[in-house]
Structure 1
Amino acid sequence: MKNNVLVLNQDYSPLTICTVNRAFLLVFLNKAEMLEADSDAAMRTVNESYPKPTVIKVNRYISVPYRGVVLSRQNLFKRDNHCCQYCGAKNNLTIDHLIPRSKGGRSVWNNLVTACKSCNAKKGDMSLEKAGMRLLQLPYRPTYLMFLRDSMGELRKEWRNYLKSTKVA
């Protein structure tokens, strides 16, 4: 993580994460502007010392098509923090449909949760109310920004002001 740099679009929206070397090159070639630098480290050549970038902003706006998060088993587990949404267990995880497929429930972000095998079996093809179960957290459709932020684990303190975003319900 120490060698990663947050890349912002011209409008300060997060674009991606790149290596320090790539970010330095973009700044050096005047294709990006350095917004934040690592105060504890520098990049050195034989004759010069340069600040080590941690956040850069590209100089020209880059049009990015909508970046949705693909609905997959791994992304669903990641959204739910690899935790059963009924009891909090972290082992033997499966996917549960809140409105069962047998009752017309679809496989969409707002109808799927991570569940351990025993909670999934207990709920069966019943509704939450009928099964007498409650969710620890309501399901939601995650944003690309959330996955970008969460995939980094511990965030650099310099990035926090640029990655302020909340869940999309």
Structure 2
Amino acid sequence: MNVAVSPGAHPALVLNADYRPLSYYPLSLWSWQDAVKAVFLDRVNIVAEYDVCVRSPSFEFRLPSVVSLKSFIKPSRHPAFTRFNVFLRDRFQCQYCGIRDDLTFDHLIPRSKGGQTTWQNVITACSPCNLRKANKSCRDINMWPMQMPFAPTVQDLHNNGRLFPPNYLHDSWLDFLYWDTELEP
């Protein structure tokens, strides 16, 4: 199929050398331009292609939809402590009431009482619950999280990331995104 290819169209799913995505959330994607460049620099293998070509006056090339790195990148063992990763660990829901709107984070032991900003003391909370708890301890206000905070592994975050698939999933990506999930009987 020969069509004009817009710059933001036809991203390529990027797999590590073991054919697992580099990241699930956000999903490891490259623009078609970066994927083509990596092919020509011999950094990736083409695993699957779109039915779309790009052309120069002397060359035609089908756009890759899935590429795998030729060199394995060892995944980080310990995810970075970021607001996004706290939200992902807590599945983007308030750990007090379960809603998914107006999220912030809360210190179980308030900072004003010596609480640290660490994996073990920070949870996702909606603004109303956070305001209600204020600078009190969970015990003082009898307000307990559904899940106690913990330092997640990369696998924990990947598993949670699978619960929030991106808006666009090309058919050629599906075998690589969910190949290690448990099958239904």
Shorter-normalised TM range:
0.5 to 0.7
Aligned partner of 1:23 among 12, 32, 35: 35
The alignment yields a C-alpha RMSD, in angstroms, of 3.9
Q: Is the 8 A contact 1:5 1:56 kept in 2?
A: yes
What amino acid sits opposite 1:115 in the alignment? A
* Number of residue pairs the alignment of both structures matches: 162
Identity %: 33
Q: How does 1:1-169 map to 2 (within 5 A)?
A: 2-15=9-22, 16-39=28-51, 41-59=52-70, 61-64=71-74, 66=76, 68-77=78-87, 79-80=89-90, 82-87=92-97, 88=99, 90-91=101-102, 93-100=103-110, 106-124=116-134, 125-127=136-138, 131-135=142-146, 139=149, 141=152, 143=154, 146=158, 153-157=166-170, 158-164=172-178
Change (3 A) 1:45 1:3: same
Q: Deviations over 1:81-120 (max 9, x none)?
A: 65423221512x4322345567875433343212123312
Partners of 1:86 and 1:114 in 2: CA distance: 8
Change (3 A) 1:56 1:150: farther
Partners of 1:149 and 1:24 in 2: CA distance: 27
**Deviation at 1:53?**
0.5
| TM-score, scaled to structure 1 | 0.66
Partners of 1:148 and 1:134 in 2: CA distance: 21
Q: Which moved more, 1:77-86 or 1:19-28?
A: 77-86
Partners of 2:169 and 2:80 in 1: CA distance: 26
Segments of 5+ residues of structure 1 without an aligned counterpart are none
Segments of 5+ residues of structure 2 without an aligned counterpart are 1-7, 23-27
Q: Is the 8 A contact 1:128 1:134 kept in 2?
A: no
Q: Is the 8 A contact 1:8 1:55 kept in 2?
A: yes
Partners of 1:8 and 1:107 in 2: CA distance: 33
